Amino acid sequence: MHVVVTGASSGIGEAIAREWAKAGASITLVARRKEVMEALAKELGNRTQVVAADLSKPELAADWLAGAEAGLGPVDVLVNNAGMQIVANFVDASPEEGERLFALNLSTPLRLIHAVLPAMLARRSGAIVNVASIAGFVPTPGMVHYCASKAGLGTASETLRGELRGTGVRVVTVDPGPVDTPMMRKAVDALSESSSLASKMPAGTTDVLARLIRRAVDKDTRRVVYPGFYSARRWLAPGVAPR
């Protein structure tokens, strides 16, 4: 099994790569930080390869794919995990920065899906994992661009699952709440300036989330919400969170 993980140099992406490597999969790590990924690849073993790529440019996002498949075979699982956050009032965030976020968080995942999907359909097998966020359904002041991008990815993911029903290609939508990563800690620090609740939100761990994601692919589970505390908030959040 060949698993591609974007945003694999740290945090959730690194944990996902470790989880599938433990299960015996071949792994392609995709991110910007080549040296960090090379160190991880050395830990994971011979069936791991590194692709250094700037995924914020959707038109170039899949240029590495042919080389990755030449090295480890057709992509069996694509994990769209790479992403960025802007934590600031909307009026203070530059349009250019917001557009770069949309490119990385939404446009590039769709480009990558488009690149791998025809071969998966031809084989009648494969899986696409889209790491969205509870921010896609919990409106969070100070994170307009991030919430919008994750709402878009989550909705696209669920729509695609409906389109692909019966084709043998599985789609899993992942909606993490706070999970202990450098990006989460940075966001919590910034949000805590305006809300004392930010630092008190229940948080999960990357290894547990990675395990849940792999199991969801194995069992063709539609959605992963983790920590489970946030499952109920999915329905309550739109009216409550902005306040």
Residue 97 one-letter amino acid: E
Alpha carbon distance 50, 32 (integer Å): 10
Alpha carbon distance 48, 14 (integer Å): 12
Query: Which of the residues 146, 153, 175, 226 is marked catalytic?
Result: 146
CA distances from 170 to 6, 71, 121, 185 (A): 18, 24, 10, 32
Task: Tell the residue number behind the tokens 């992963």, with chain if given.
Answer: 224
Question: SS3 for 171?
Answer: strand
Residue 7 one-letter amino acid: G
Active site residue 146: yes
The rounded radius of gyration (Å) of the Cα atoms in the chain is 17
**HSE-CB of 140 using CA atoms within 13 angstroms:** 33
Q: Please list the active-site residues.
A: 146
